[in-house]
Amino acid sequence: RNCGREILGTVQRLRYTSPPSDSALSSLFVFHLEGNECISANAKHCGECIQAGAKCGWCEQEDFLKQGEALSTRCDEVESLKERGCNDSQIQNPIGKKSIITNKPVTNRKKVTGVETNKPKPEEITQIQPQKLRLNLRSGQPQSFDLKFKRAEDYPIDLYYLMDLSYSMKDDLENVKNLGTSLMLEMKKITSDFHIGFGSFVEKTVMPYISTTPSKLLNPCTGDQNCTSPFSYKNVLSLTSDGNMFNSLVGKQQISGNLDSPEGGFDAIMQVAVCGEIGWRNVTRLLVFSTDAGFHFAGDGKLGGIVLPNDGKCHLEDNVYTMSHYYDYPSIAHLVQKLSDNNIQTIFAVTEEFQPVYQELKNLIPKSAVGTLSANSSNVINLIIDAYNSLSSEVILDNSKLPEGVEIEYKSQCKNGVVNDKDDGRKCSNISIGDEVNFNITVTSKGCPNDGKSETIKIKPLGFTEEVEIILNFICDCQCQNNDVVKKSEKCSLNGTFECGACRCFEGRVGRNCECSSNDMATDDMDQTCRKDNSTDICSNNGECVCGTCECKKRPNPEERYSGQFCECDNFNCDRSGNKLCGGNGRCVCRECICDPMWSGRACDCSLDNSTCLATNKQICNGRGRCECGVCKCTDPKFQGPTCETCPTCPGVCAEHKLCVQCRAFGTGEKMKTCKEECSYFNLITVKDRNKLPQPNDYPYPVMHCKERDANDCWFYYTYAVNDTEREVHVVDKLDCPSGPDIIPIVAGVVAGIVLIGLALLLIWKLLMIIHDRREFAKFEKEKMNAKWDTGENPIYKSAVTTVVNPKYEGKC
């Protein structure tokens, strides 16, 4: 019911501004549910308070609590406590810290050819720094430290070769017999301190894995093949630096046999990992597992009647595993744990047929590798060298089991400036010998794990024996709980302990001073003292009546508080302005605003400062208005703006804003290059045509219509208006430019005109010639009619006929 009243009261306060939106109400409910972690803790003493969160503090100042405030209000965010009047020196806010105990620098060692006189022991070589530190952790407060890793050059290596000696590996054994000296020579290029060992495995010595007939137990092979008796695992040679001894002992080994295809290699790996007889040193440990078949794992032992889970312990007698018939095969997870605990890196040398199977197994076993073994193991040395280089080029950090409530994060700074975080923050790849990488490790605790007892965790790079030991101390109590503590204090009515500025009542006692018994709390007489003016509401429904005194309830928002003798006051139900309590210019005291200087009004939203009303001519509101609450109220309707200096309808307004409108709307004009700097003082709104421009009657403020012409004789149209303090310009988005001449009709007209004129001239000429010819013909006819002809002979006439006579002609034919 009280929660509902709080929410309703908050919604009612919102009505002073605007109706709350759905999102506002949603966030309001979320806020009430989540609240402040310090207040939500409802801490009764300092220890509980500092465990609530990293920002929480406890005020031990005795006179800190005001009337009606509960004891738990001493716990709040540190900044809030200071704002509420708690002296900084009286705030309990312990801070976690780190201290490095062992910080031996990493070893800078170079590989020496020949005999080295001062060769360090493996345990004297350091690849990780620091080695031991202490973290004092406070709940929610992370502590970080840097870890350095450097691969030491010439670091010792132990390599144990574990080989499948089932019959199918017969040809492989011949190549492995000389492996010792050959591998020793190759590994000497990497380290001067190399040990090698050898072991073999076949299968559990029970049915149905092998044949248990007497003859097959002596020689499991068929025909005239001479094979040794089947066995589970045999340690042939413990780790040694004598390569010749490796060749000698391996040369004496014989192939054995079994019935099924999968082998019992997991039994052998478990014994190699946990048995001290192998001779592992605290150096780089490599296990080469060579086979051409699959593997049995946990549960497969049931086929032979073996149901006891593998115990993960050593069971070697005379270097032979004797409990294969008693314990089941180990599980993959069990193997991963033992290999990791003993810092063993595994190399699976398998034939191509079983590559996919062992690739999947490799993904489950950290710091392991898979190599393809040739049919007769002739490439085993190159396989081992390549796999070792692959494994040693990557460092992966791992940590031991964390206490409940403790979290750890990694961030790596790898080679070539590569930075990884989250899941990849644990590792760095492509590391060469002598490279140095850094990790930033952050440890955080929640609450007070393990009742505040110290815990130890360890971080180590997988496959390496070195580790970092981290001692975790948890800060669960305040210093004031150990100092100046008064048991059965008079301040607590002898019924409690006075610590950290407040009473910590004994069981069965309540009240700020432990003055009441919990059995007497709910009496009518006590409740009556918690009612204001005989009201029916106890503590105004904003608190609880404890020992006859109101203890006001806390609000999720630490800045909002109930107070008063009857919790009738609060500091959040005052008038608001601009969605701010008391306009942000005052304090809310018992639901009334106490305004700051130069402010007045119910919501402190009326400024008494006239400086905001001064115009550029130093007159109040430009002499055309009055200043009310720091805002000008213009009395001349022509003038607007915050200081009554803007006149949108006065002459010259259009010309004043022409260039800015031109550059912003069309990107042209004299201010085109400086438009952004000089013309951002108004809001530009574009419209499609002149009919869309605002009209004088559309708005309650004056609107000036403008028509201006640019350099291209194009007209543009816009309106200018001032809406309160904002200037608005509506502009038509297209220029009105005069249209140019239509060339085609002009050319066609000219051509047609010329043709027509030519034709007209020709017609006129023809007409004139006709008139002229007719006149001449008429004249000719007239003269012809008037002519008189003489009939006499023409004296100058000559006949057209001439007769010539041949003188020789005599008239004969």
Q: First and final CA of the chain: distance in angstroms?
A: 174
User: Are residue 362 and residue 243 in the same domain, yes or no?
Assistant: yes
Question: Is 495 domain-assigned?
Answer: no
Question: Is 804 domain-assigned?
Answer: no
- CA dist 195 and 285 (Å) reads 10
At 522 the pLDDT is 59
User: What confidence tens digit (pLDDT) does each residue in 383-442 have?
Assistant: 888 888 888 888 999 999 999 989 999 999 998 888 998 888 999 988 888 888 999 999
Judged by average pLDDT, the poorest of 287-296, 357-366, 511-520, 745-754 is 511-520
User: What confidence tens digit (pLDDT) does each residue in 119-148 have?
Assistant: 777 778 889 999 999 999 999 999 999 999
Question: Is 185 domain-assigned?
Answer: yes
The C-alpha angle 345, 358, 262, rounded to 5 degrees, equals 110
pLDDT of 230 higher than 80: yes
User: Are residue 311 and residue 407 in the same domain, yes or no?
Assistant: no
Residues contacting 477, CB < 8 A, separation 6+? 46, 47, 452
User: Are residue 354 and residue 307 in the same domain, yes or no?
Assistant: yes
At 33 the pLDDT is 36
pLDDT of 643 higher than 90: no
Question: C-alpha distances in angstroms, 628 versus 358, 600, 613, 621, 700?
Answer: 85, 11, 9, 10, 21
Residue 696, domain CATH = 4.10.1240.30
CB 264 within 8 A of CB 324: yes
Residue 203, domain CATH = 3.40.50.410
- Mean pLDDT, residues 505-532 taken together: 78
User: What confidence tens digit (pLDDT) does each residue in 600-635 have?
Assistant: 888 998 888 888 888 887 888 887 888 888 888 888
- CA dist 694 and 126 (Å) reads 83
- Mean pLDDT, residues 207-226 taken together: 81
Question: Is 810 domain-assigned?
Answer: no
Residue 633: strand pairing partners: 626
User: Are residue 308 and residue 213 in the same domain, yes or no?
Assistant: yes
- CA dist 367 and 478 (Å) reads 45
Question: C-alpha distances in angstroms, 537 versus 3, 534, 567, 572?
Answer: 15, 9, 11, 20
At 333 the pLDDT is 94
Domain boundary residue, one of 732, 766, 788: 732
The 8-class DSSP code of residue 410 comes to E
pLDDT of 741 higher than 90: no
At 616 the pLDDT is 80
Residue 5: band (very low, low, confident or very high) from pLDDT cuts 50, 70, 90? very low
Token reading at 365? 């076993």
At 811 the pLDDT is 61
Query: From start to end of 400-483, where are the E strands?
Result: 406-413, 419-421, 427-428, 436-445, 455-461, 468-475
- Mean pLDDT, residues 295-312 taken together: 92
- Mean pLDDT, residues 24-42 taken together: 55
Question: Is 379 domain-assigned?
Answer: yes
- Mean pLDDT, residues 448-459 taken together: 86
At 788 the pLDDT is 64
Sign of the alpha-carbon torsion through 39, 43, 47, 52: negative
Please return the burial class of 238, using the count of CB atoms within 10 Å of its CB with bins 0-12, 13-18 and 19+: middle
- Mean pLDDT, residues 754-763 taken together: 93
Residue 173: band (very low, low, confident or very high) from pLDDT cuts 50, 70, 90? confident
At 593 the pLDDT is 92
Judged by average pLDDT, the poorest of 208-212, 515-519, 669-673 is 515-519
CA neighbours closer than 13 Å in the CB half-sphere of residue 727: 21
User: Are residue 209 and residue 253 in the same domain, yes or no?
Assistant: yes
User: Are residue 361 and residue 447 in the same domain, yes or no?
Assistant: no
At 15 the pLDDT is 35
Judged by average pLDDT, the poorest of 213-217, 260-264, 764-768 is 213-217
- Mean pLDDT, residues 232-259 taken together: 89
pLDDT of 312 higher than 90: yes
User: Are residue 366 and residue 440 in the same domain, yes or no?
Assistant: no
Amino acid identity, position 164: D
User: Are residue 265 and residue 343 in the same domain, yes or no?
Assistant: yes
User: What confidence tens digit (pLDDT) does each residue in 261-303 have?
Assistant: 888 999 999 999 999 999 999 889 999 999 988 999 999 999 8
pLDDT of 567 higher than 80: yes
At 512 the pLDDT is 80
Question: Is 521 domain-assigned?
Answer: no
At 587 the pLDDT is 87
pLDDT of 164 higher than 50: yes
**Average pLDDT in the chain:** 84
Domain that holds residue 620: 609-649
Largest CA distance in the chain: 204
3-state secondary structure of 436: strand
pLDDT of 7 higher than 50: no
The percentage of the chain sitting over the pLDDT mark of 90, rounded to a whole number, equals 29
Residue 9: band (very low, low, confident or very high) from pLDDT cuts 50, 70, 90? very low
- Mean pLDDT, residues 21-34 taken together: 39
- Mean pLDDT, residues 507-527 taken together: 76
Token reading at 489? 């204090």
Question: C-alpha distances in angstroms, 703 versus 641, 679, 716, 730?
Answer: 14, 19, 17, 10
Residue 640: band (very low, low, confident or very high) from pLDDT cuts 50, 70, 90? confident
- CA dist 203 and 118 (Å) reads 46
Residue 110: band (very low, low, confident or very high) from pLDDT cuts 50, 70, 90? low
pTM greater than 0.85: no
Domain boundary residue, one of 370, 392, 414: 392
The percentage of the chain sitting over the pLDDT mark of 70, rounded to a whole number, equals 91
User: Are residue 278 and residue 333 in the same domain, yes or no?
Assistant: yes
Question: Is 515 domain-assigned?
Answer: no
Q: How many structural domains are present in the chain?
A: 5
Task: Specify the higher pLDDT residue, 278 or 726.
Answer: 278
- CA dist 553 and 543 (Å) reads 5
Question: Is 245 domain-assigned?
Answer: yes
User: Are residue 614 and residue 660 in the same domain, yes or no?
Assistant: no
User: Are residue 412 and residue 310 in the same domain, yes or no?
Assistant: no
pLDDT of 171 higher than 80: no
Residue 428, domain CATH = 2.60.40.1510
Domain boundary residue, one of 701, 732, 763: 732
User: Are residue 420 and residue 311 in the same domain, yes or no?
Assistant: no
Residue 600, domain CATH = 2.10.25.10
